[in-house]
Structure formats: structure tokens, C-alpha cells
Chains A and B, each alone.
Chain A
Amino acid sequence: MNWQAKSLPHTEQPMKLSYYPGCSLHGTAIEFDVSTREVCKHLGVELVELDDWNCCGATAAHSLNRDLAAAASARNLAIASRRGMPLAVPCAACYHALKKTDYEMRHDADLADRIRTEFGIDYPGGVDVRHIMHVFADDEMLAAIRQKVTRPLEGLKFGCYYGCLIVRPPEAMGNIDDPENPQKMETILNACGAETVDWSYKTDCCGGAFALGRPATAMKLIAKIFDNAIKSGIEAIAVACPLCHANLDGRQPEASEILGREVNMPIFYFTELMGVAMGLAPVKKILGKHLTSVQPALEKLS
């Protein structure tokens, strides 16, 4: 299988995309928002925030009611379709909900019909929903990234952690990356001069949806991920999801207790690492917001 994202039209100057930040990026994942916007600006990609977007409903909506989940995402997609630009989404959970709903609306005529008649949302499907990682992982963009790197990320071994929602289920997610061993994040970090390590837990669930509902279970999953990362020689983890970040960054004391060894692993959004490699000051400024300090890691990089 050839896992390849369709190339974005590069003719437009600058490239313009609709942008769906989602609730977390306006809150606890502010670093992901700032670094995404800064890196895009630096690469000449213009992000236009979707007007009056609503919460995608996340795991809660589809867990309790399928039509509610579809309607919540379809409303955003309908707004995006009126704009006529691809929709870029950094949050893995929002990306998953929007992309999956687009897929379902194209493949389930009954659902699309219900969403129109019962919710007044006319969306037959068709918006090009892109995770922000897939915007960057395209050949021309990677070349542009290489040109902008002023401080290659040398000196640390990185593990790319994808979690569940960007790659699964592959068909609804557009068959863009291998669901068992995805590589797009690696290509981006490699373009930034980083060494990336192969490891087994990059798509294992961190229990993000259980962070509050059943924390003990989430912590067990987190501990397993750290165990495998440490055994693989990983010194810093890159993520692309606010829930993964909150879980991996915030639960290291508990993971240490479970594993019986100290876990002290810097967790970066991959966009932050791009910003560091490009020497973007506003990105460096927000790195202090992480709960597990990334300072020692940054020192090793310089």
C-alpha cells in the first residue's frame, strides 16, 4: 500500500486553509495553537479560523448518540464547505471526528438525509479535512521546511507518538498513513534534522478519553507507553494531540510509581519542535508551559 496524502494545490500564493482549532487549543493546548500558527506563518501558509465553529463532540458525543456526533461535526463541515478551502485541524480528536463524519456523510445517504431534515444542516460531504501534520508532510512542504531550518534538532533521540485518532480507522481517515506504523511525523522531524527512533507503542492508546472518567486505567496505558519508549532509547516524545499531550506530560509522577523507576520525559507537540528548528521566538516562549520541563532537552539540542 502506498500511504500518500494528496498534494495540496501549491499554486495559490500564499497557500490558504480554513482552520479549526477546537476547544483544547483555545485552552490547555494553547502551545499547540501558537506553534501551529507561527510555523504556518513562517512557511507562508495562511490559516483562516472557521467562523462560529462549535465543539466536535469528541468521544462523549459518539459514545452516547450517533446523530448528535454527526450533527456536531457536520455543522462545522458545512461552514467550511461554504468557504471552499481545505480544512486544517491540529487536534487529533477534532480531526478524527470531522474526517470521520465527512466520510460517513459521503457513504451513508440515510444519515446525510437525517442531518439535513432533523438538524437543518445541509452537508453532503466533500470538504478536504486535513490533519495539520499531513499539510506539512507533503513533498513540496517538506522541501520548504528544510529551507527554513536554522537550528537542526540534533543531539536527542525522538520518538513520534501518534496515538489512536489520526490513523484509525484507516479508510475513514483517508488511507494517508500506515495505521500500524505511521511515518508522516517522522518525515517532518527528519526534515528538521532530528533523529527518530522506531518503537512499538507509537499507535497504542494513552487512554485520553478516560483521563477524568477512569484515570487508573489511563495511567496503566501511559505507563506502558513510557516503558516501551525508555527501552527503545527515546529521549523525547513528539505528539500531535492535546489529549495525548496532557496525559503523557501530566501523568509522569503516576507512571513512575507504576513502573518503579523515574520517568522524566519531555513531551513536545511536533509543531513546537518545528518552531524550535526554525528559530521562532514566540514558540520558544511558550515551551515553559509544559508540566514536565523541556528545558534540559532544549539545552541538549543547542
Chain B
Amino acid sequence: MAFIDEIESINSELVAKCFQCQRCSCGCPIVDEMDYAPHQIMRMILLDQRDKVLDSNTIWLCVSCETCSTRCPNDIDIAGVMDACRQIAIEEGRKPAEERIYKFYNTFLKRVEAGGRINEPMLVAMFKLATKDFFSDMRLGMKMGLKGKLKLLSPKVKDRAAIKRMFAQTLHKK
């Protein structure tokens, strides 16, 4: 299957309509940190440069602000393409070019799986364990604690079976 078809099987995004106007890249807030700009990723997908795209930091540095999708004259959902690329990269066990960003998403979803809702202090604690980065943001954390912003317990979803099923059918599907 061509790479573009793989992407369109997750989300139909009309990548083939891209005429390289670069409007997406001009408005992207992260473009200067990316290996390839968003419009380049679109072209690379059409040229079937699968590994280059999936191993790039671009797909992880995209923060899903959807500025590109809003402005594209051809209605291409560029942000959705980035989502699909991340999904494909993870499903085939590639090492993400931006490991810390992936670890945050992964930790977040593990917390959702555990209780159906996010408890923020717990999320931060688990993320620190996952990254072994214990000392960043101590100042911020202390301030929030003093302001009574950190609630250590929050209610969980009662229908846990529904939450389990969501994960069994997606991230844990073999």
C-alpha cells in the first residue's frame, strides 16, 4: 500500500490536492524547530518517502494547533495527517524522534485508562517517573501546592468496562 493510502485509511485528508503554496508552513508556530516544514511533509508523503516522514521530528513537534488545517486553500487537514503519521509510527514500534513528547501522551492515556479521568498531580508524578526528570518545575509545583490547586484525589468513572474496551480496541489491539 502506498504511504498516502495508509494515511487516508486512518483519516481521509486529500493530501494529493496539495499544490505546495506553503501557507501551512507560514502559519505554523513550531516550524523553525522542525526537520521538515509541514508543506514538505505533504510532498514527501506524495513521493512515498515513508521512513523520512515517520522518523522526522516534525510529526511529534506538531502541537495540533490546527492553524494549517484552517488556512489550507485545498481543505487538507494537515494536523490530521500529522496525527495519522504518529499513529502509524507508534503502531509499528518506531522510536519517536521526540521521545519526551510521546512519553507525555502515553502517560496521559495510561492515567485515563486507569480511572477514566485525569488527576493532574498524579499525571505529573507519573510523567516524572517515566522521564526520570524529578527536579524540573519544582518552583511551579510548590506555588500551585501553596495556592491549594493540587487536589490529590478525584472521582473515577463508574463504568470502567467501557473505558477498558476503548483501550483494548485501540492501543492494546494486537
| Interface positions of A (Cβ within 8 A of B) | 23-24, 26-28, 30, 52-55, 57-68, 71-72, 75, 118-121, 164-165, 168-170, 179, 203-205, 207-210, 212-215, 217, 221, 250, 253, 288-291
Q: Is the CB of A60 within 8 A of B104?
A: yes
Given A64-B109, A291-B144: A54 touches B116 (CB 8 Å cut-off): yes
Q: Is the CB of B169 within 8 A of A54?
A: no
Tell me the nearest residue of chain A to B155, going by C-beta: A26
List 7 additional contacts besides A60-B112, A118-B169; criterion CB under 8 Å: A63-B105, A120-B165, A213-B104, A214-B61, A214-B100, A289-B147, A289-B149
Contacts of A214 in B (CB 8 A): 61, 98, 100-101
Q: Is the CB of B86 within 8 A of A63?
A: yes
Q: Is the CB of B63 within 8 A of A212?
A: no
Q: Which one of A27, A63, A119 has the greatest number of beta carbons of chain B within 10 Å?
A: A63
Q: Is the CB of B66 within 8 A of A61?
A: no
Chain A nearest CB from B31 CB (Å) reads: 11
Chain B: interface size category: 35 or more
Q: Is the CB of B83 within 8 A of A57?
A: no
| CB of B129 closer than 8 Å to a CB of A | no
Q: Is the CB of A66 within 8 A of B83?
A: yes
Contacts of A217 in B (CB 8 A): 30, 33, 61, 63
Contacts of B148 in A (CB 8 A): 289
Contacts of A253 in B (CB 8 A): 139
Chain A nearest CB from B121 CB (Å) reads: 8
Q: Is the CB of B77 within 8 A of A169?
A: yes
| CB of B40 closer than 8 Å to a CB of A | no
16 residue pairs A–B, Cβ–Cβ below 8 Å: A28-B120, A30-B151, A54-B162, A57-B112, A59-B63, A60-B104, A64-B87, A64-B171, A65-B170, A75-B166, A119-B162, A168-B69, A169-B79, A213-B104, A217-B30, A291-B143
A58 to B117, CA, bound (A): 11
